[in-house]
Amino acid sequence: MPADRGQSGPPTISEVAAEAGVGRATAARTLGGYGYVGPELRERVLAAAEKLGYRANALARSMSTGVTHTLGVIVADIGNPFFAGVLRGISDTSRARGFDTIVLSTYEDLDEEVAAANVLIDKRVDGVIIASAAVDRREVAHIRAAIDRDIPVVLVDRMVPSLDLDTVVIDNRDAAREAVETLIAAGHRRIGFVWGPPMAEAPATRRDLLAEAARNLWSDQERLRGYLDALDDARIPFDPELVMVGDKTEEHCTQEVARMLALPDRVTAVFCTEAEAVTGTLRALRTAGLSYPRDISLIGFDDNPWASVMDPPLTMIEQPVHDLGAKAAEVLLDILGGADPRHETHVLRSRLITRASVAAPS
Amino acid sequence: MPADRGQSGPPTISEVAAEAGVGRATAARTLGGYGYVGPELRERVLAAAEKLGYRANALARSMSTGVTHTLGVIVADIGNPFFAGVLRGISDTSRARGFDTIVLSTYEDLDEEVAAANVLIDKRVDGVIIASAAVDRREVAHIRAAIDRDIPVVLVDRMVPSLDLDTVVIDNRDAAREAVETLIAAGHRRIGFVWGPPMAEAPATRRDLLAEAARNLWSDQERLRGYLDALDDARIPFDPELVMVGDKTEEHCTQEVARMLALPDRVTAVFCTEAEAVTGTLRALRTAGLSYPRDISLIGFDDNPWASVMDPPLTMIEQPVHDLGAKAAEVLLDILGGADPRHETHVLRSRLITRASVAAPS
DNA sequence: CTGTTAGCGCATTCAT
DNA sequence: ATGAATGCGCTAACAG
């Protein structure tokens, strides 16, 4: 236990120096682990530090060195297992290289994202990883602000074309295409796309849909493209009624799937772009008294323990969440270590885990 | 966009002052929002700041004020929805009161927890919330270190009796008792307790079990007590074979439930103390070719969207995760605001959500 | 109302 | 090898 010096606040390096009977600089050198210090004085300083319970003030240190040894991370929603996994990848590799990480969740709100960026800038983090990027050109001022201050930025999961930054993503388009192809191979032609762009009403044409998608999250639009790719390859006509638009909430998803299920020529399969969309879809099935894969087939993004214990177990797409984060941290730390930013897009592979939620249409 | 002054690093308050043609202090006062500044100079300073893209250096500010306006949060596992929810409660209320929050996840590792505490101390956070507390007396040195430095600490979910701190928890014991009572009321007498203490082998006696439990996570032992309470009230003898011990992993859980299922007098119901234990249990059921609630009844902790879309839907205990975090932040911020620490235990109510995983034993 | 001055705790020249 | 002095960017007394 630290000796109680009637002082106010935690012990400073000066107090340690005094206790050890040496100059400040000597104490600073041994405690900071730099410069030369004789073995004897070194011992005395260490003993004094131990006795007083000294811990370096990271603020003061950063103040004079100009670096904080900490990475700032902005995620869209820390409650989403996808981001939680990415985060773990980031913190594992950054801590392994001696960096702390401070994470801020925007809960999918742009204002929050801007605020988060400012917090990180103000706290002088050495680098920033963003897994929650706005897409619109006018919405990236806060990211540019960081870059202008020479704070390296790496993006994860969501690409921002107008920014030209190192970005780590998965093969969203391929993954979506593979999933939908799987559905098609099983014989489906009426395939719902659940969790689309947040437009007010159904797109009149395929072109409208793509135009709208382009204004939204990058990963979302890639998944939509993959869906369309698969349809095209199989010469299945695009039907705007089979794509969900509007709020991305589980509740709205349930409504939309219910709608697609009530269509004269109803959907026989559904492709979900997110785990929450899967639960929303399942809820709609239950209400409609339908069961999978008998009445309807189902493939969703973001595998998780629940998907595998469902009865029947769900065929899902698994993302390399940990690697996504690890890679991002790696790239960022390399830049901080002096490497030139490559402004590359690093694509990691996802994996379709085949289980039992796909069958031939009834 | 900030003007590019061939300078190095972001603009400082001195540069803003120079640009505005005023003294440092005047610039500092208007930018820092304290003291009196004439309307005209104020305008000039603001304009200069805007022009240079000035942002206050939080490090420097904290350096001289001694406060950081940030809360440190240590959680056991940020990938666990329970903690993610608590975290949101914390960040919502702390940001509403002008505090940033920096969160560190220990991934249930004590060394990580100690490291996390040190990071927070070094970064001079104003207060700390811990939702991941070690229990053993010798393991709380890092928490005590914070307290010794006059950093207020509030605990969430896990109580540490030896510390006498403000603590926010739910009625774990009651919640568990209610769940097990529900099972008993349905006619069950062979009820498994899944996710128990990490002892090497099954406890010989009830006393052994409790002794071991006392050395573990507080919420876990409370849940065990609730289980025993319910058994006692119904005069059902305690059977050590019906409690899982060992690693708290989904995999081991599956093994243990399989074991209980293979017993001559097998379990007819299972009470799970965590969501992961539920998926582990479901996996065991599948392998055994059993289904609920026909062959076995089931109640688990930590409700979530998946539990409600299972077929049949699961009866689960819902914790007020957001409130838990919000309350903790509130208590902590009140202390920082000058209130005396009450060293109270704040108990929030959980709720049993009855669905369809409980039936009479077959 | 405004400008000058002195720290906050540490790292880092520069003499010694 | 060690100590004294200076500065990081900001707040806060203090004069004026």
Q: Select from B65, B86, B107 the last residue of a domain.
A: B65
Are residues B177 and B307 both part of a single domain?
yes
Q: What is the DSSP string of A266-334?
A: --SEEEESSHHHHHHHHHHHHHHT--TTTT-EEEEES--HHHHHSSSPPEEEEP-HHHHHHHHHHHHHH
Distance B64 CA to C7 C1' (A): 8
Residue type, A303: D
* Cα-based torsion angle of the residue sequence B170, B174, B178, B181 in order, rounded to the nearest 10 degrees: 150
Residue A6 lies in a domain: no
Are residues A176 and A298 both part of a single domain?
yes
Distance B236 CA to C9 C1' (A): 64
Are residues A269 and A189 both part of a single domain?
yes
Distance A57 CA to D4 C1' (A): 22
Q: Examine the pLDDT at B235 and tell me if it is beyond 60.
A: yes
Question: Strand, helix or coil at B198?
Answer: coil
Helix (H) or strand (E) holding A194: strand A191-194
Residue B309 lies in a domain: yes
Q: Select from A305, A320, A335 the last residue of a domain.
A: A320
Number of domains into which chain A is organized? 3
Percent of chain A with pLDDT over 70: 97
Work out the mean pLDDT of chain A and round it to a whole number: 94
Report yes or no: A149 and A178 within 8 Å, Cβ to Cβ: no
The least confident of A46-55, A181-190, B43-52, B210-219 is B210-219
CB of A12 nearer than 7 A to strand C: yes
Q: Which one of A59, A276, A355 would you mutate to disrupt binding with B, by most B Cβ within 10 Å of its Cβ?
A: A59
- Residue A277 has a pLDDT of 98
- Of the pLDDT bands very low, low, confident and very high (cuts 50, 70, 90), residue B138 is low
Distance B54 CA to C2 C1' (A): 21
Cis (ω within 30 of 0) for the bond into B161? no
- Of the pLDDT bands very low, low, confident and very high (cuts 50, 70, 90), residue A2 is very low
d(Cα B97, Cα A112) in Å, to the nearest integer? 15
Q: Examine the pLDDT at A30 and tell me if it is beyond 80.
A: yes
Chain B: residue nearest A146 by CA?
A: B10
Maximum Cα–Cα distance for chain A, whole Å? 89
- Residue B163 has a pLDDT of 86
Contact check, Cβ <8 Å, B87/A100:
no
Residue A117 lies in a domain: yes
- Residue B5 has a pLDDT of 44
Residue A4 lies in a domain: no
**CATH number, position B33:** 1.10.260.40
Strands (E), chain B: 70-75, 100-105, 127-131, 153-156, 166-170, 191-194, 269-272, 297-301, 315-318, 345-348, 351-353
- Residue A136 has a pLDDT of 66
* Sign of the CA dihedral with A250 first, then A254, A255, and A259 last: positive
Contact check, Cβ <8 Å, B305/A85:
no
Q: Examine the pLDDT at A161 and tell me if it is beyond 50.
A: yes
CB of B40 nearer than 7 A to strand C: yes
In sequence order, the 6+-apart residues with CB closer than 8 A to the CB of B43 are none
Report yes or no: B172 and B347 within 8 Å, Cβ to Cβ: no
Contact check, Cβ <8 Å, A122/B85:
no
Radius of gyration of chain A (CA): 26
Are residues A92 and A194 both part of a single domain?
no
Cis (ω within 30 of 0) for the bond into B305? no
- All residues of chain B having their beta carbon less than 8 Å from the beta carbon of residue A60 are 63
| Backbone torsion region of residue B166, taken as left when φ is above 0, otherwise alpha when ψ lies between -120 and 50, otherwise beta | beta
Buried/exposed B276-314: b ≥16 CB within 10 Å, e otherwise:
bbbbbbbbbbbeeeeebbebbbbbbbbbbbbbbbbebbb
d(Cα A207, Cα A205) in Å, to the nearest integer? 5
Report yes or no: A11 and A54 within 8 Å, Cβ to Cβ: yes
d(Cα A361, Cα A192) in Å, to the nearest integer? 13
- Of the pLDDT bands very low, low, confident and very high (cuts 50, 70, 90), residue A160 is confident
Per-residue tokens: B227: 């289980």
d(Cα B291, Cα B98) in Å, to the nearest integer? 51
Are residues B160 and B288 both part of a single domain?
no
Report yes or no: A28 and A13 within 8 Å, Cβ to Cβ: yes
DSSP state of B66: S
Work out the mean pLDDT of chain B and round it to a whole number: 94
Chain A: residue nearest B286 by CA?
A: A309
Chain A: residue nearest B119 by CA?
A: A100
The least confident of A14-18, A72-76, A156-160, B116-120 is A156-160
Per-residue tokens: B296: 């076995």
Are residues B158 and B261 both part of a single domain?
no
- Nucleotide nearest A14, CA–C1', reads C9
Q: Which residue has the tokens 């409790």?
A: B210
- Nucleotide nearest B38, CA–C1', reads C1
Among B119, B123, B310, the residue with its CB nearest the CB of A310 is B310
Report yes or no: B113 and B74 within 8 Å, Cβ to Cβ: yes
Residue A108 lies in a domain: yes
- Residue A9 has a pLDDT of 84
Q: What count of Cα atoms within 13 Å lies in the side-chain half-sphere of residue A111? A: 1
Maximum Cα–Cα distance for chain B, whole Å? 89
The nucleotides of chain C lying under 7 Å from a protein CB are 1-5, 7-13
Residue B358 lies in a domain: no
Q: Examine the pLDDT at B250 and tell me if it is beyond 60.
A: yes
Radius of gyration of chain B (CA): 26
CB of A62 nearer than 7 A to strand C: no
Residue B5 lies in a domain: no
β-strands A166-170, A345-348 pairing: parallel
- Of the pLDDT bands very low, low, confident and very high (cuts 50, 70, 90), residue B3 is very low
Are residues A252 and A336 both part of a single domain?
no
Over range B330-355, report the average pLDDT.
96
β-strands B315-318, B351-353 pairing: antiparallel
Residue A362 lies in a domain: no
Q: Select from B65, B84, B108 the last residue of a domain.
A: B65
- Nucleotide nearest A61, CA–C1', reads C10
Are residues B150 and B51 both part of a single domain?
no
The closest alpha carbon to A227, from A317, A107, A110, A113, belongs to: A317
pLDDT tens sequence across A148-158? 999 999 999 98
Question: Strand, helix or coil at A136?
Answer: coil
Looking at the complex, report in whole angstroms how far the Cα of residue B119 sits from the nearest Cα belonging to chain A.
8
d(Cα B287, Cα B259) in Å, to the nearest integer? 12
Distance B71 CA to D7 C1' (A): 29
Are residues A224 and A152 both part of a single domain?
no
Q: What is the DSSP string of A208-232?
A: HHHHHHTTS-HHHHHHHHHHHHHHH
Contact check, Cβ <8 Å, A87/B78:
yes
Which of the listed ranges A125-139, A182-196, B149-163 does the model predict with the highest average pLDDT?
Answer: A182-196
d(Cα B61, Cα B57) in Å, to the nearest integer? 6
β-strands A100-105, A191-194 pairing: unpaired
Q: Examine the pLDDT at B116 and tell me if it is beyond 80.
A: yes
Percent of chain B with pLDDT over 70: 96
Chain A: residue nearest B145 by CA?
A: A1
Are residues B161 and B289 both part of a single domain?
no
CB of B185 nearer than 7 A to strand C: no
Among A53, A124, A310, the residue with its CB nearest the CB of B57 is A124
The closest alpha carbon to B277, from A253, A309, A287, belongs to: A309
User: What is the Cα A122 distance to its own chain's centre?
Assistant: 22
Question: Strand, helix or coil at B348?
Answer: strand
- Residue A362 has a pLDDT of 86
Are residues A161 and A210 both part of a single domain?
no
Looking at the complex, report in whole angstroms how far the Cα of residue B79 sits from the nearest Cα belonging to chain A.
5
Residue span of the structural domain in which A121 resides: 70-169+321-348
Q: Which one of A63, A104, A306 would you mutate to disrupt binding with B, by most B Cβ within 10 Å of its Cβ?
A: A306
Contact check, Cβ <8 Å, B84/A78:
yes
DSSP state of A243: B
Q: Examine the pLDDT at B312 and tell me if it is beyond 80.
A: yes
**CATH number, position B98:** 3.40.50.2300
The nucleotides of chain D lying under 7 Å from a protein CB are 1-5, 7-13
β-strands A315-318, A351-353 pairing: antiparallel
Are residues A291 and A334 both part of a single domain?
no
Q: Which one of B64, B109, B123, B302 would you mutate to disrupt binding with A, by most A Cβ within 10 Å of its Cβ?
A: B123
Per-residue tokens: B96: 């509403």
The least confident of A52-56, A211-215, B191-195 is A211-215
Distance A321 CA to C11 C1' (A): 39
Residue nearest to nucleotide C8 (CA to C1'): B64
d(Cα B211, Cα B36) in Å, to the nearest integer? 63
In sequence order, the 6+-apart residues with CB closer than 8 A to the CB of A120 are A72, A74, A102, A104, A128, A146, A151
Over range A99-110, report the average pLDDT.
93
Distance A23 CA to D4 C1' (A): 9
Over range B129-151, report the average pLDDT.
86
pLDDT tens sequence across B159-181? 888 889 999 999 999 999 999 99
Tell me the three-class secondary structure of A55-121, residue by residue: CCCHHHHHHHHCCCCEEEEEECCCCCHHHHHHHHHHHHHHHHCCCEEEEEECCCCHHHHHHHHHHHH
The closest alpha carbon to B227, from B252, B244, B247, belongs to: B244
Q: Examine the pLDDT at A11 and tell me if it is beyond 90.
A: yes
Q: Examine the pLDDT at B2 and tell me if it is beyond 60.
A: no
